[in-house]
Structure 1
Amino acid sequence: MNIAIIGYGKMGKTIEKMAKIRNHKISLCYDDTPPPFLLKNSDVAIEFSQPNSAFNNIKICLENNIPIVCGTTGWLTQFNLVKKICIEKNGCFLYSSNFSIGMNIFFEINKKLSKLLFPYSKNYEVKIEEIHHKEKKDKPSGTAISLAEQIINNKMKKTWILNEKKTKNKVLIVSKRFENVPGTHIVRYESKIEDIKIQHKAHSREGLAFGAIIASEWIQNKKGIFSMKEVLGI
């Protein structure tokens, strides 16, 4: 498989390394939105760039019939437009806020836990703590938002807030940034009688890269809009 890597920072370089381990070829490494002629020899594009450039990167791939796997967060106000373009072009697009296989299982645990606790939601405060490296542009992380939205969709809380004190009927997200932290997410369900805590801690970017490559292999010869749930059969 010939892979175009769009966004050649630390994540892009890790994807390049992991792709070669799985015997794939790298057809392109590009930091900006690539011109179409550079994509013509690619079977798939993996996009980990910046929130302000993700949409254009996705759009140019879909317009040129290149299946694309995207892990950039912070651009989702344009997600419906991407879906529209993908359908119009009969393309293939796969997005996840986190490609780690372990994190996607963690999502399912959190979803189930919030659903089970819904009847007792008035008794529990919910807090999500996310810790990342200082270079991360968006705050909170897309993964933390995904976790919060699961809780909200299960009607345990009404909305989420970032780094605030008034938390009634809200999921409190606390974002922290330190040097050289790949990513930690902690979800706490706290009451006067007990606390429940679940945690996922990434040790490196390799888990994200591995998941993105698995997703790229999975979407070959497919059309439509997908997520890691389909890849993992969840």
Structure 2
Amino acid sequence: MKIALIGYGKMGQAIDAIATAKGHEIVLRANSKHPLAKEHLEQADVAIEFTTPETAYHNVLKCFEANVPVVCGTTGWLDKLPEIKAICAEKQQAFLHATNFSIGVNIFFEVNKKLAALMASQSQYDVWMEEIHHTHKKDAPSGTALTLAEQVLASVTRKTGWANEESKQPETLSIISKRIDPAPGTHTITYTSGIDDITITHTAHSREGFAAGAVVAAEWLKGKTGVFTMRDVLNL
């Protein structure tokens, strides 16, 4: 499979190593010094996009214009996702976005949803979250944390919104963001009462899990049309 890598930071380089080891060919490595060119993009069977919140939207549109399926892992631009999904459907392209491509994290998402559903009626428990990433992480809370928060809020309706701080408001879900090197990503959800605590945590040991999942998503997306998530890839 021929892959275009849009964004060649630490994540792009990790994806490069895993994809190459699996026998795929990297036909484009685009970054700020090597801009995305349509003629090079058109050589690819699929594109994998890990850039910045400011550039992701336009990069995805360029993939649509080149008729190239795109796997996007950039977070921090969720406000434009509905528009991208509509354009994808209109142009009959292929788009897969995930806040986290790690297979372990996507299983963790399912565990989080189940626990939130169980705790919905247990009003004696408060709930809060913590996420830890490296200091180069540009957005806070992380996209993964926001996905987890949305899942909690969908079931635990005594919480009506979230705040990226330790909130004093009982109806607000606190998300504590910490930036500590070299942490690749830790997400914790805690339900606490006067009697006990229930905590679930996912800890990434390296970027390899994220990169490997992105390659699996690209392999799955090739030849498809539509809007997808990792739940489709993993059949969850």
The aligned amino acid for 1:143 is T
SS of equivalent to 2:219? helix
Q: Give the TM-score, by structure 1 length.
A: 0.97
Q: C-alpha separation between the residues in 2 aligned to 1:169 and 1:21?
A: 48
Aligned 8 A contact 1:65 1:89 in 2: no
Gaps of 5+ in 2: none
Task: After superposition, give the CA deviation of every residue in 1:131-178 in whole Å (9 maximum; x if it has no partner).
Answer: 000000001100001000001111432111111331412211000001
Q: Which residue is 2:200 aligned to?
A: 198
Q: Which residue is 1:174 aligned to?
A: 176
Moved more, 197-206 or 167-176: 167-176
Shift in alpha-carbon separation, 1:23–1:167, aligned structure 2, 3 A: farther
Q: Which residue is 2:65 aligned to?
A: 63
1:89 to 91, 105, 128: 91
Q: Which stretches of structure 1, 4 residues or longer, exceed 6 Å deviation after superposition?
A: none
SS of equivalent to 1:52? coil
SS of equivalent to 1:215? helix
Q: Which residue is 2:48 aligned to?
A: 46
Q: C-alpha separation between the residues in 1 aligned to 2:185 and 2:37?
A: 32
Q: Which residue is 1:30 aligned to?
A: 30
SS of equivalent to 2:54? helix
Q: C-alpha separation between the residues in 1 aligned to 2:125 and 2:169?
A: 11
Aligned 8 A contact 1:126 1:187 in 2: yes
2:11 is the counterpart of 1:15: no
Q: C-alpha separation between the residues in 2 aligned to 1:44 and 1:167?
A: 45
SS of equivalent to 2:8? coil
Q: Give the TM-score, by structure 2 length.
A: 0.96
Q: C-alpha separation between the residues in 1 aligned to 2:114 and 2:46?
A: 33
Q: Which residue is 2:82 aligned to?
A: 80
Q: C-alpha separation between the residues in 2 aligned to 1:230 and 1:129?
A: 27
Q: Which residue is 1:142 aligned to?
A: 143
Task: After superposition, give the CA deviation of every residue in 1:14-55 in whole Å (9 maximum; x if it has no partner).
Answer: 000010111111010001451211101100000000110000
Q: C-alpha separation between the residues in 1 aligned to 2:229 and 2:181?
A: 30
Aligned 8 A contact 2:101 2:213 in 1: yes
The aligned amino acid for 2:186 is T
Q: C-alpha separation between the residues in 1 aligned to 2:223 and 2:30?
A: 24
Gaps of 5+ in 1: none
Q: C-alpha separation between the residues in 2 aligned to 1:126 and 1:113?
A: 11
Moved more, 32-41 or 54-63: 32-41
The aligned amino acid for 2:2 is N
Q: Give the alignment's Cα RMSD to 1 decimal.
A: 1.0
The aligned amino acid for 1:144 is A
Q: Which residue is 2:129 aligned to?
A: 128
Aligned 8 A contact 1:126 1:170 in 2: no
Q: C-alpha separation between the residues in 1 aligned to 2:185 and 2:156?
A: 27
SS of equivalent to 1:197? strand
Q: Which residue is 1:232 aligned to?
A: 234
**How many residue pairs get matched?**
233
